[in-house]
Amino acid sequence: MSAPTGFALYHAALDQLRDQSRLRSLKPRLGIDFTSNDYLGLAASSRLRDAVSAAAERGVPVGAGGSRLLRGNSPEHEALEAQAAQFFQAERSLYFGSGYVANYAVLSTLPQNEDLVVLDALAHASAHEGTRAGRATVTRAIHNDAGSVDEQIRAWRSRGGRGRAWVAVESLYSMDGDKAPLVDLQAVCLRHEAILFVDEAHATGVFGPDGRGLASEWEGAENVLVLHTCSKALGGAGALINGPKILLDFLVNRSRPFIFATAPSPLMAVAAGEALKSLKEEPERRQRLAHLVEVAAGAARRHYLGVPRHSQIIPMIVGDDKNAISLADILQERGFDVRAVRPPSVPEGTARLRISLTLNVDEKAVLDLFDALAEAWRTLVP
């Protein structure tokens, strides 16, 4: 077979995705927000806007101008890291430009040649990509199964594994809304002297004391690393890696995504710091979100749509890709911004609507959404 000429290869790949109902395109923000990760409604809040405006007025630059190791390190970055370390009760915090980059940086840099990384099968794509770029042996554990993690580590040791084991999980999974068995996972890690790396992306700000996340009980332990994104419930951009100082010092010196990337905007560091203050000073935001979760659960039960897990992420599994798209289209026509999620973002046969509850909606909007969803569901889903 001769090599493809021009862009034929790309045309063929996109045509195949279109035939499979998996072709993606960018869509504007339209309708009532049931899609974003702005769980606490901070992204457009006057509190964050005023903090960023005040910082800009006093001369804080929009851009960092370089990497943190060159001239890009600003007082705002360092202030956020000190504040985050205190807030989350960690030894040190390090600010990255995004959660994807932070996940990738940790897993491509810290586990070494003789180490093992046990990765939950449904962990973020950035975690999987980070382990592919790293040097350690990588294996996947059955989703949310601490016993599977234990078995993977034991099997690796029996084959002569001599290094350290690392266990990488999310505390609250982004597509299923379910929580990791962190108590059991930490017990496994302590038994094997392993490092537990917890991605709190969807739990930060929503769960735990003062919104410190589901891993707050263990944050600060010498065998625990935690990732907190600033782009979801915190309403801004970037991500914080918290953990033992020695490991974060190693990232500063060896992590290519940290060393060679331009530093995050100092104004975004200001926004993240203000959001952390909000978590402590405005607990009513979490309370209002928890109420919406209960409202949604009750509406789903009344319409026999299944009982969603008790988090702000509600997966309505459709199965068929085309039906998922059709349901999303109907809801969008009714004024609800709900999107279909299809493989490879989720496993084959589990195309779904991912409903996200945020403080950008009220109780009436939640009830109206489930009324519309139930009507559409009966029409399209067998």
Q: Which of 93, 174, 278, 360 is catalytic?
A: 174
Q: Which of 77, 192, 202, 228 is catalytic?
A: 202
Active site residue 144: no
Residue 43 neighbours by CB under 8 Å, 6+ apart: 36, 235, 236
Q: Which of 93, 120, 124, 337 is catalytic?
A: 124
Amino acid identity of residue 318, one-letter, is V
Active site residue 199: yes
Active site residue 36: no
Q: Which of 179, 219, 232, 274 is catalytic?
A: 232
Cα–Cα dist 324/351, whole Å: 6
DSSP element (H, E) containing 228: strand 224-229
Cα–Cα dist 345/283, whole Å: 33
Q: Which of 33, 38, 81, 170 is catalytic?
A: 170
Quickly tell me which residue has 């099968």 as its tokens: 121
3-state SS, one letter per residue, for 88-151: HCCCEEEEECCHHHHHHHHHHHCCCCCCEEEEECCCCHHHHHHHHHCCCEEEEECCCCHHHHHH
* Pair of tokens at residue 352: 């779904």
Active site residue 37: yes
Contact in structure between 98 and 239 (CB atoms under 8 Å): yes
Contact in structure between 137 and 161 (CB atoms under 8 Å): yes
Which candidate, 202, 211, 206, 148, places its Cα nearest to that of 171?
202
Amino acid identity of residue 345, one-letter, is S
Active site residue 11: no
Q: Which of 199, 274, 321, 337 is catalytic?
A: 199
**Cα dihedral 206, 208, 212, 217 sign:** negative
Q: Which of 33, 37, 128, 192 is catalytic?
A: 37
Kindly list the strands in the beta sheet with 137-141, ordered across the sheet, starting from the edge strand earlier in the chain.
92-96, 239-243, 224-229, 195-199, 165-170, 116-120, 137-141
What are the two backbone dihedrals, phi and then psi, of residue 250, each rounded to the nearest 5 degrees?
-65, -40
> Could you list the active site residues?
37, 124, 170, 174, 199, 202, 232
